[in-house]
Amino acid sequence: MKIVAFTGAGISRESGIKTFRDNDGLWNNFSIEEVATKDAWTKNPQKVLDFYNQRRSEIDTVSPNDAHKYLKKLEEKHDVTIITQNIDDLHERVGSSKILHLHGEMRKMRSDTYEDLIYDYNEDIKMGDKCEQGFQLRPHVVWFGELPYNVEESYQALSDCDLLLIIGTSLNITYTLDMLSSIDEERTEVIYIDPNPDDFMDGITHVTYIKENATRGVKELVEELLQ
pLDDT tens for 138-148 read 999 999 999 99
Nearest of 222, 161, 224, 170 to residue 201 by alpha carbon: 170
Residue 173 has a pLDDT of 74
CB 23 within 8 A of CB 183: no
Q: Above 60 in pLDDT, residue 4?
A: yes
CB atoms within 10 A of CB 216: 15
Catalytic-labelled residue, pool 68, 91, 101, 103: 103
pLDDT tens for 144-175 read 999 999 999 999 999 999 999 999 988 777 78
CB 116 within 8 A of CB 129: no
CB atoms within 10 A of CB 89: 18
Q: Above 80 in pLDDT, residue 23?
A: no
Residue 227 has a pLDDT of 85
Q: Please state, rounded to an integer, the average pLDDT across all residues of the chain.
A: 91
Buried b (16+ CB within 10 A) or exposed e, 101-139: bbbbbbbbbbbbeeeeebeebeeebeeeeebeeeebbbb
CB 67 within 8 A of CB 221: no
Average pLDDT for 196-200: 85
Residue 43 has a pLDDT of 95
Q: Above 80 in pLDDT, residue 121?
A: yes
Residue 25 has a pLDDT of 47
Which CATH architecture describes the domain 1-16+64-103+142-227? 3-Layer(aba) Sandwich (3.40)
Q: Above 90 in pLDDT, residue 129?
A: yes
Q: Above 80 in pLDDT, residue 27?
A: no
Residue 146 has a pLDDT of 93
Query: Hey, where are the domains in the chain?
Result: 1-16+64-103+142-227
Q: d(Cα 54, Cα 66) in Å, to the nearest integer?
A: 25
Our answer to whether residue 68 is catalytic in this structure is: no
Band of residue 47 on the pLDDT scale cut at 50, 70, 90? very high
Band of residue 201 on the pLDDT scale cut at 50, 70, 90? confident
Residue 176 has a pLDDT of 85
Q: What percent of the chain lies above the pLDDT cut of 90?
A: 74
pLDDT tens for 213-227 read 999 999 999 999 998
Average pLDDT for 27-41: 80
Band of residue 26 on the pLDDT scale cut at 50, 70, 90? very low
